[in-house]
Amino acid sequence: MSEKIQLPTENCATCPAYTQLEKMGIKIDNFDRVIALAGNPNTGKSTLFNALTGLKQHTGNWPGKTVTRAEGGYQFNGVRYKLVDLPGTYSLLSASQDEEVARDFILFGQPDCTIVVTDATALERNLNLVMQVLEITDKVVVAVNLMDEARRKGLEVDTRSLARDLGVPAIPITARTGEGISTLLQTVAGVIEGSIITAPKRVQGTPEFQRAVNELVPMLEALVPGLPNARWLAIRLLDGDARVQKALENGELPELMARQRRAEVSFSRKMAIEGRQ
Amino acid sequence: MSILVWLIVATIGAVALFFPGYGGLAQFAAWRAMRQRELVEDALKHLLDREQEGRHATPQSLAGTLSANLAQTIKLIAQMESQNLVESRGNEIHLTPEGERWALHIVRAHRLWERYLADEARMPLQKIHSEAHKREHHISQAELDALDAAMGYPTYDPHGDPIPSREGKIPTHRAIPLTAWQAEGPARILHIEDEPAIAYEQVLAAGLRLGQVIRLIEKTPTRYVLSDGENEFRLAPSIAANVHVAPLSETEIARKGAVPLHMLSDGQKGEILLLDESVQGFTRRRFLDLGLTPGALIYPELKNFFGDPRAYRVRGTLIALRKEQAAQIWVKPL
Amino acid sequence: MEANEILQKAAQLRSGLSTSFRDEIVKSLYTEAETIARRAVKSAADRKYDFDQKIDRLVTSPVFGLPIMLALLAVVIWLTVSGANVVSDAIASLLFWVGDQGRALFHALHIPWWITGFLWDGVYRGLAWVVSVMLPPMMIFFPAFTILEDLGYLPRVAFNLDWLYRKSGAHGKQALTMAMGFGCNAAGVVSTRIIDSPRERLIAILTNNFVPCNGRFPTLIMLSTVFVAAGFSGFTASVIAAASVVVVVMIGIAFTLLMSWLLTKTMLKGEASAFTLELPPYRVPNVWRILYTSLIDRTLFVLWRAMQTAAPAGAIIWILANVPVGNSNLAQSIADWLNPFGLLLGLDGVILLAYIIAIPANEIVVPTMMMVYTGASMMIEGPSGNQEIFNLLVHGHGWTMLTAINLMLFALLHNPCATTIITIYKETKSYKWTILSVVITLGTAILVTFLTATVARLLGWG
């Protein structure tokens, strides 16, 4: 099933010549890293997923096509990645089935990096979700997909301005043709390794809301020291998110932190072995 | 021979009747206990109602609500006293703190169920009261908390009654019955009393709904005439007393130029001002997530053979909405 | 710090916040998104954007919207019917020729007759029938349908038809789930997850089976080609056959709406929930990928599934046909026993027997039926062309136009296949609704065929 292809290395002066993508299909039992693919419906997430894993998830053009998550694998520059395709959602705030799947994975599945796939022709709508993901985690890369459609519609997307405003990398791609994919993978690797530092943009909200959040954050941090997204959890608690409340009540959050720390240790060991750091 | 047959029949009958847990008697006892619990809970609700109105319940008022005779009611009160739920002072019955806690739980269960049945199960409004009344006796505190959380902590039931919080706090609202409404200006319907059911159905049949903005244009001893600017609604005074209204807030009055989204003509641009108060829970969140937030630019772009739904372009995407949904979004035509 | 303390604090803070704070969160997110997007995107010209909008205006237009939809459906079906016709005969002749050679070979090797019969007349013939009846329509229908799906046309269909669903108390997205049902009803049932309201989702699940899935299309296509278009030839025949399939599909949609309405008025009372449907921008479909996925993933997958049930079904029929009972055989006896009931529905005993054998996957109904007809006496060669099928059924087994029409109706309305039933259980987690889904569909099928048969007989047809 696995096939080796040489990707074009355009837009990427630093890409080493041996840059290689190996599609691993569903062979994902032995992976080093977990990547989540999030995004609005109809942004071409499944197309990107297929392009990377060599799988053939069907990609229908209607909202709700992917209801559950799909998993696949790829290997890039010798590192094996497990890629998780989440259902397309407009938001992570509602309680519909698909949004819960996506939200739970980004929060509790602890992916090493989340790629948010956006539609270059409807950025405004797509950025809403990006900002919500940025609230949860800072290991984010924004893939601005459908650049060909944008050109067709006469739109010019300045991804550097986007990256500056969001505080995370934004990479223009066209998943259908493979344009920009190797840059994307390079960036994802950089964000995971820490060679690319992110500083995600966070929305402040009204003063009264801000006050309420600020009261809860220290309490959460006292309960679970080192919690990376206490602010987001506080917002969710204020919003009355049943899932987050449950996680707090049954002690899932502290466990989550512990698991992440263990994972970090094993990763740095792996990195040392591979001699890439 | 026939004695043997009778013996067997009698044995089977006795087993069917007395088998622990499953036999007829056990079933009957369980049913009796359940029935008794329902009675107690309904009584507690009545007492709470009365206390909230600033009056005290009497055995007579309780008997009336439960449609039981006075002797039965007095027996029930005695039983509740022994459970430390109520205490009698003269002819008045008072809730003990324990009784009040239980009563609030039942009220909360009832109103949350109504919210659920109306919003999530989409049952007709006329039906939700009786269904919620059935379900309110069969839910634990934990299940209720989960239901509350799943719906995003609603504060009002579909009739506009406040839902007590888990801690037993009741949000206050400032609505007064239409019969007491004196002002000239527009008013918003905040609460429609759902009991008695016949009166409630008449209000719904007249076409009034929660959150609607109305004006009182005629008030005589025989009828009340209301208008929402488009249609007129006629109510008998006894029915009008069940409709509770409050004056519009100043900002709402300032937005008088607002029209519901479905009134925009093809291609006419509008700016979203607010989502109607009648949109709550899941639907409201969905609207917001789709980018239908105040300040967004929107215009109708597509119309099909039937004229409904229409597709509106908002934030670069086409979203189809039925007329009922579009009517809940207030826009300022540009 | 205790978790409970935090929860209590959160609840307390929440009640202190104004009720619109949730609106405010989303609003500020979108406002920020708007600012960032405006800085990053420069719009040069709106030429192409206009083009997409023009297409949208056309395919959803009050005047042309519905006719275009119908025309697209008709074209897809016509392509399937006329294309399938060409290859179907060839494939059937080839496969039956192979069967004959195999039998001759076994005969020459003096292998006992029952082994030859079991393998070649039972298992092999079951497979051959399924492949020749099912493969050609699927090879054409799947890619054509997938192109429409990938273009983004399906949400427009939901948009065009939503009013009808609203009037039936259902959700407009049900049209999308029905479109999925054309491919496979089990997939259609899974896709009902896009409907949030539990009530409307149940309605969509219970009525999905009224859309003829790809397993049942071949039955419809064969019957309309062999019977409805019998008196015509060439292009006219294919148009008439396609038209009759379109009519059957429309009847199916009508039944979906009717059943949704009935459910709304009885078991699933309620009001329509909030309806929001995104109409995604059109995308150019990747034709090669579509051909690949619809041929390899879908067609072969469905065919493989059909073959897995066809082989044992073929074996069972052969055994039934070769167990002597009196001076007849078991298959014939069962069919005779079912016959009065079959005739009541305008069908016959063999058809009902075929439906019972084909419960695991109802795409093998026609093949099963053919095998019972031909397998009953081993003298009859497997018919390969349309004319031979016509002769076999009409002259050999007394079929009339009524039989053909009622079989088409029965195929459209009857109970879901085993896979779909299991899927319905998985999605609803309720025996009650699963059983009901079978009762509703089977009941409708029996009632409708009974009515048409009775009316037709009263009027002196059939």
d(CA C33, CA C20): 20
Structure tokens at B311: 């597709």
Instruction: Please report the number of interchain residue pairs, chain A to chain B, with beta-carbon separation below 8 angstroms.
Output: 42
d(CA B157, CA B139): 17
Residue B123 domain-assigned (yes or no): no
pLDDT digits (tens, 9 = 90+) for C286-296: 788 788 777 77
Number of alpha carbons in the 13 Å side-chain half-sphere of residue C426 = 13
Among A40, A92, A93, A94, most B C-beta atoms within 10 A, so best to mutate, is A94
C459 touches chain A (CB under 8 A): no
Q: Which CATH number fits the domain that encloses residue B321?
A: 2.30.30.90
C59 touches chain A (CB under 8 A): no
Q: Per-residue b/e over C275-311, b at no fewer than 16 CB within 10 Å? A: bbbbbbbbbebbeebbeebbeeebbeebbebbbebbb
d(CA C255, CA C444): 9
Kindly determine whether residue C24 and residue A156, on different chains, have CB atoms separated by under 8 Å. no
pLDDT at C380: 41
Choose among C7, C18, C190: nearest Cβ to A245. Answer: C7
Q: Is the pLDDT of residue C210 over 90?
A: yes
Q: Which residues on B lie below 8 Å from A93 (Cβ)?
A: 285, 288-289
Choose among C21, C36, C155: nearest Cβ to A209. Answer: C21
Kindly determine whether residue C281 and residue A149, on different chains, have CB atoms separated by under 8 Å. yes
Q: Per-residue b/e over C5-22, b at no fewer than 16 CB within 10 Å? A: ebbebbbebbeebeeebb
pLDDT at A47: 87
d(CA B243, CA B208): 9
Q: Which residues on B lie below 8 Å from A90 (Cβ)?
A: 289-291
Kindly determine whether residue A223 and residue C29, on different chains, have CB atoms separated by under 8 Å. no
Kindly determine whether residue B286 and residue A240, on different chains, have CB atoms separated by under 8 Å. no
pLDDT at C379: 36
d(CA C236, CA A125): 50
Structure tokens at C114: 């029952």
Question: B77 with B88: CB under 8 angstroms?
Answer: yes
Q: Is the pLDDT of residue A170 over 90?
A: yes
CA nearest to B59, candidates B50, B193, B38: B50
Number of domains in chain B: 3
Average pLDDT on C55-84 reads: 89
Q: Which residues on C lie below 8 Å from B302 (Cβ)?
A: 56-57, 60, 159, 279
pLDDT digits (tens, 9 = 90+) for C323-350: 887 777 888 888 889 989 988 888 888 8
In angstroms, what separates the C-alpha of B260 from chain C's closest C-alpha? Answer: 16
Place of tokens 């026939």: B2
Residues of chain B with pLDDT under 70: 1, 122, 172-174, 249-256, 278
pLDDT at A254: 67
Residue B136 domain-assigned (yes or no): no
> Residue C84: left (phi > 0), alpha (psi -120 to 50), or beta?
alpha
Kindly determine whether residue B155 and residue C198, on different chains, have CB atoms separated by under 8 Å. no
Pairing of strands B259-260, B329-333: antiparallel
Q: Which residues on A lie below 8 Å from B163 (Cβ)?
A: none
| Residues 181-220 of chain A whose Cβ lies under 8 A from any Cβ of chain C | 201, 203-206, 208-209, 212, 215-216, 219-220
Residue B19 domain-assigned (yes or no): yes
Q: Which domain holds residue B285?
A: 259-333
d(CA C127, CA C307): 6
Kindly determine whether residue C275 and residue B325, on different chains, have CB atoms separated by under 8 Å. yes
d(CA B55, CA B218): 32
Report the neighbours of C using a cutoff of 3 or more CB pairs below 8 angstroms: A, B
Kindly determine whether residue C28 and residue A61, on different chains, have CB atoms separated by under 8 Å. no
pLDDT digits (tens, 9 = 90+) for C169-194: 899 899 999 998 888 888 889 888 88
Kindly determine whether residue A95 and residue B285, on different chains, have CB atoms separated by under 8 Å. yes
pLDDT at C378: 42
Confidence of residue A269 (pLDDT cuts 50, 70, 90): very low
Kindly determine whether residue B289 and residue A121, on different chains, have CB atoms separated by under 8 Å. no
Choose among B167, B302, B308: nearest Cβ to C60. Answer: B302
- Asked if the bond preceding C67 is cis, omega within 30° of 0, the reply is no
- Asked if the bond preceding B309 is cis, omega within 30° of 0, the reply is yes
Q: Collapsing DSSP states into helix, strand and coil, what is residue A105?
A: helix
Structure tokens at A30: 């032995």
Residue B115 domain-assigned (yes or no): no
Average pLDDT on A252-270 reads: 54
Kindly determine whether residue C278 and residue B317, on different chains, have CB atoms separated by under 8 Å. yes
Final residue of a structural domain among B52, B80, B95: B95
d(CA B70, CA B322): 53
Whether ipTM tops 0.95, in short, is no
Confidence of residue A249 (pLDDT cuts 50, 70, 90): confident
Q: Collapsing DSSP states into helix, strand and coil, what is residue A259?
A: helix
pLDDT digits (tens, 9 = 90+) for A33-83: 899 999 988 888 888 998 888 877 666 666 666 666 778 888 888 888 988
**Cβ-based neighbours of C416, under 8 Å, separated by 6 or more:** C185, C209, C424, C437, C438, C441
Of A16-25, A144-153, B317-326, C234-243, the least confident: A16-25
pLDDT at C1: 61
pLDDT at B208: 83
CA nearest to A181, candidates A21, A62, A3, A34: A21
Name the residue of chain A whose CA is nearest to B292's CA: A125
C455 touches chain A (CB under 8 A): no
Kindly determine whether residue A64 and residue C193, on different chains, have CB atoms separated by under 8 Å. yes
Residue B20 domain-assigned (yes or no): yes
pLDDT digits (tens, 9 = 90+) for C392-436: 788 778 888 888 899 999 999 988 888 889 889 988 888 999 999
Question: B64 with B27: CB under 8 angstroms?
Answer: no
Kindly determine whether residue A42 and residue C278, on different chains, have CB atoms separated by under 8 Å. yes
Q: Which residues on C lie below 8 Å from B294 (Cβ)?
A: 23, 27
d(CA B230, CA A271): 71
Q: Which residues on A lie below 8 Å from B291 (Cβ)?
A: 90, 124-125, 128
pLDDT at A259: 58
Residue B163 domain-assigned (yes or no): no
Mean pLDDT computed over every residue of chain C: 84
Instruction: Please report the number of interchain residue pairs, chain B to chain C, with beta-carbon separation below 8 angstroms.
Output: 136
Number of residues assigned to chain C: 462
Kindly determine whether residue C154 and residue A132, on different chains, have CB atoms separated by under 8 Å. no
Final residue of a structural domain among B248, B275, B297: B248
Domain ranges of chain C: 59-458
In angstroms, what separates the C-alpha of C272 from chain B's closest C-alpha? Answer: 7
Torsion of CA A57, A58, A61, A64, to 10 degrees: -70
Instruction: Tell me the CA end-to-end span of chain A in Å, nearest whole number.
Output: 31
A174 secondary structure, DSSP code? B
Q: Which CATH number fits the domain that encloses residue B23?
A: 1.10.10.10
Average pLDDT on C203-224 reads: 88
**Cβ-based neighbours of B292, under 8 Å, separated by 6 or more:** B272, B275, B298, B314, B319, B329
Kindly determine whether residue B290 and residue A90, on different chains, have CB atoms separated by under 8 Å. yes
Of A273-277, B56-60, C96-100, C188-192, the least confident: A273-277
Residue B148 domain-assigned (yes or no): no
pLDDT at A2: 41
Residue B311 domain-assigned (yes or no): yes
Structure tokens at A191: 């964000």
d(CA C330, CA C336): 10
Kindly determine whether residue B127 and residue C269, on different chains, have CB atoms separated by under 8 Å. yes
The amino acid at B310: R
Q: Which residues on C lie below 8 Å from A205 (Cβ)?
A: 24-25, 28
Name the residue of chain A whose CA is nearest to C187's CA: A65
- In this predicted model, which residue has the larger pLDDT, C112 or C52? C112
Q: Which residues on A lie below 8 Å from C18 (Cβ)?
A: 208
Final residue of a structural domain among B38, B69, B95: B95
CA nearest to A135, candidates A257, A34, A229, A245: A229
| Residues 42-71 of chain A whose Cβ lies under 8 A from any Cβ of chain C | 42, 56, 58-64, 67
β-sheet bridge partners, residue B270: B298, B333
Pairing of strands C276-279, A4-5: unpaired
Average pLDDT on C308-330 reads: 80
Output the pTM of the full model: 0.78
Question: A73 with A31: CB under 8 angstroms?
Answer: yes
Confidence of residue A94 (pLDDT cuts 50, 70, 90): low
d(CA B87, CA B94): 5
Confidence of residue A255 (pLDDT cuts 50, 70, 90): low
